[in-house]
Amino acid sequence: MLVRRLNPPLEDFHAIPGGFVECGETVKETAIREAKEETGLDVKIQRLVGVYSDPDRDPTRHVITVAYLAEEIGGRLKPSSDSR
């Protein structure tokens, strides 16, 4: 699933739902929380897809992405306040 970004600098670009790890949280917990926050869906992590760390990948800053394949297990699809 992709979301379309609502805010600059990457407004209207597609993105995988995600966000930043909070203190005391694992990256899997972050993926589950961010999926819910950005899409309204509850997900179950299936497997790791990859880790992406090229410093030039994100034009706003150096971001490390941990991507998971996840299965929808509930919730209702709805965009967040920062996606379309």
Give the distance from CA 8 to its chain's centroid: 17
Give the distance from CA 25 to its chain's centroid: 15
Cα separation, 55 vs 78, whole angstroms = 31
pLDDT at 33: 96
The owner of tokens 């996606």 is: 83
pLDDT at 1: 83
Helical segments of 19-82, H only = 27-39
* Structural domain count, the chain: 1
What residue numbers bound the domain in which 68 lies? 3-75
| Residue 81 belongs to a domain | no
Q: Is the pTM of this model over 0.85?
A: yes
| Residue 13 belongs to a domain | yes
pLDDT over 90 at 10, yes or no: no
| Residue 84 belongs to a domain | no
Question: What's the CATH code of the domain at 68?
Answer: 3.90.79.10
User: Which tens digit of pLDDT belongs to each residue from 12-61?
Assistant: 999 888 899 999 999 999 999 999 999 999 999 999 999 999 999 888 88
pLDDT at 40: 93
